[in-house]
Structure 1
Amino acid sequence: MTAAGRTTPPTARRADVRSRLRSTGPVVIRPADGDDLEGVVAVGRAAWRETHATLYSPELIELFLDKWWTAGANAPAIRSGRTIVADRDGEIVGMASYGVTDGRFVVWKVYVHPDAQCSGIGGRLLEAVEERAAGHDAVYLTFTDGNTRAESFARTRGFVHDGREQQNGLPDVLWMRRGLGEAAPEVSATDVSATDVPATDVPSATEDGDDRP
C-alpha cells in the first residue's frame, strides 16, 4: 500500500524487485529452506524462459514452466536438502539443485536471475554443489543441445562432453562431466559472465532425485 492507502501498481512492484536483484550487496550461498520456495521458483521461471526462447516454441516453454517451475515441482528438492540458493539481502537471486541418479552425482539446475547475472553467482553455486559430492569420482550436468551459454558455463568450469540423449523430435540432451580429482580452472574477470548462466535445462525426469527442469 502507498502512504495514501492505495495499492502499489504492479509495474512499480516489479521495478522494486528488479532494483533489489541488481543490488551490489553481498551474496550468501546457503542451503535453501521452505521460506525460499517462492524465490527459487521466480528465479527459475525468469532464467529458464530467457535461456530457452530460441530453443523451444512459446507453447512448449509455457508447458515446461508449468511442469518444472512450480512450487510443487521444487518443494521436494528443498525439503530433502538438495537445493542451494544465492541470497542477496533476503532476495533469492540464484539457485542450484542436485541429486544422485544411477550412481552419478548430477547437477540438475544452476540458474541466476537475468537481473543478477554477470557477477559470478552461477560459478559460486556450482562450487557449493560440488562440495556436497563427497564419495563420488565425478560431477555431471546436462543441458539442451543449442544452449551455447550452458556449454560455455560448463567448459569454463572444466567439464567435457560425456554423451547425448535423443528427445523424440526435440533438441537432444547433452551430458558433460568433470572428474572431482581434476582441479577446476580459474575463472578470469573476462570470463565471469560465463559463470552466471543456466547450466542444466533438460525438460524431462524419470527417477527419484532427478530434478531436471
Structure 2
Amino acid sequence: MDLIVRKAVMADMERIREIAEITWGETYKGLIPEEIQSRFLEFAYSDRNLEWRIERTLFFVAMEGKKLVGFANASVRDDFAELMAIYVLPDSQRCGIGSMLLKVITEDLIGISKMIVAVEAGNKLGESFYHTKGFKVVEDCEEDFIGYKLKTRWMEQHLQK
C-alpha cells in the first residue's frame, strides 16, 4: 500500500464530504437516525465549515496512491486538543490508516498535554480503536445533538512530549 498523509487543501473538500457521509452511514447505522446524521453532515461538512476547518485547524488527509481514503481533524484549545474526526472509508479500515492519521495529528501538537475525543456509546469500532491508542474513558453523558439525545463517551489520552 502506497500511503501518504498530507495537509488537507480546499480541492479535497468534495471527497472529504463523501468520506464523512459514507463512514457516518456505516458507523452510526442503528445508533443515530439517518435524518439526524444528514442534518449534522450537511452543517459540519458545508463549504463554509470545511473551509474554516481546513484553514484554521489541524486537518490531514490520507491518500492511497491518488485516491483520498480518509481524514483526521483536531482543534487546539489552550493546553489540550480535541480530536474532532478520524474517518477512513470502510474498505480501507483496519490497514493502519487511522493510526497513521492519529500519529500525524499528535506529532503536530507542540506543547499540548492531552487530547480528548467524543465517541457515541455503542460505536464499538471507535471505542476499541481509541482504547488501543491509549485513550481512557473520563465521562459518559447525554447530549442534545440537533434535537436527538446522544449517549456520548468522552475519552482522553495524555500526550508524552
Give how far 1:92 is off.
0.9
Which residue of 143, 149, 153 corresponds with 1:167? 143
Q: Per-residue deviation at 1:81?
A: 4.9
CA contact (8 A) 1:95 1:109 kept: yes
1:132 aligns with 2:97: no
* Alignment check: 8 A CA contact 1:32 1:81 kept: no
TM score, norm. by length of structure 1: 0.69
Deviations 1:7-58 (A, max 9, x none): xxxxxxxxxxxxxxxxxx4010111112211121111111111111111122
1:40 alignment counterpart? 16
Q: Tell me: CA distance 1:166–1:116, structure 2 relative to 1, closer, same or farther (3 Å).
A: same
Q: Which has the larger radius of gyration?
A: 1
Residue segments in structure 2 that go unaligned for 5+ positions in a row: none
Give unmatched runs, 5+ long, in structure 1: 1-24, 183-213
Correspondent of 1:85 among 61, 64, 67: 61
Cα deviation, residue 104, structure 1: 2.2
- Higher percent of residues as strand: 2
Cα distance in 2 for residues equivalent to 1:31 and 1:159: 24
For normalisation by structure 2, the TM-score amounts to: 0.89
- Matching of residue 109 in structure 1 with residue 88 in structure 2: no
| Farther-moved stretch of structure 1 (132-141 vs 159-168) | 159-168
Moved segments of 4+, more than 6 Å:
none
% identity of equivalent residues? 27
Matched positions, count: 158
Contact 1:145–1:174 at 8 Å: present in 2 too?
A: yes
Instruction: Write the distance in 1 (CA, Å) between the matches of 2:17 and 2:127.
Output: 23
